[in-house]
Amino acid sequence: MLRSLLPAAVVALAAAGTLACRRAALPEVERAGRDAAAGRRIFERRCVSCHNANGDGKTTVAARFPYANLVDGRWRSDGSLAAIERQVRVGRDPMPPFQEKLTGEEIRQVATYVLTLSRGKTAAPAGGSAAP
């Protein structure tokens, strides 16, 4: 009888050992949070020359354009994620199109970050002042 229980006991011990050694799943960051973080990095590389590091648009290049300010909540469009993505993708005078310079995912990410700027949900990038 002991011989018949031995294989089952070995399998049970192996399963218990495997479960005990299993690492807890890492907590997942919400997709919008990941997109905003990635979008911030893209924004810092591609957008600060016109929109400034904090998004207020007060730069030599774009200060005279009212829609260069991304923190005041005033938009050419309805200010939705889709509208911001479209603006980044196809541009609109004086903003150049970025569809040939960024991937679709990068455009979505930077648009997500821009929304956080307008909602005051992000700290200013290094060297910039905090958004109002």
pLDDT of 113 reads 96
Query: Domain ranges in the chain?
Result: 29-118
Count CB neighbours of 97 within 10 A. Answer: 13
| 66: number of Cβ within 10 Å | 11
pLDDT averaged over 10-residue windows placed end to end, the chain, 132 residues: 60 60 60 91 97 96 92 92 97 95 97 91 43 34
Nearest to residue 46, comparing CAs of 115, 121, 117, 96? Answer: 96
pTM exceeds 0.85, yes or no: no
Q: What is each CA distance from 84 to 15, 25, 39, 90, in whole angstroms?
A: 51, 34, 13, 10
Phi, psi angles (nearest 5°) of residue 95? -75, 130
Dump the DSSP string for 48-74. Answer: HHHH-TTS---STTTTT-GGG--SS--
Query: Quick one: 29-118 is in which CATH superfamily?
Result: Cytochrome c-like domain (1.10.760.10)
Taking the C-alpha atoms of residue 32 and residue 52, their distance in angstroms, rounded to an integer, is 22
Q: What angle do CA 81, 82, 85 make, to 5 degrees?
A: 85
Chain centroid to Cα 89, Å, comes to 16
What's residue 40's pLDDT?
97
What pLDDT does 66 receive?
87
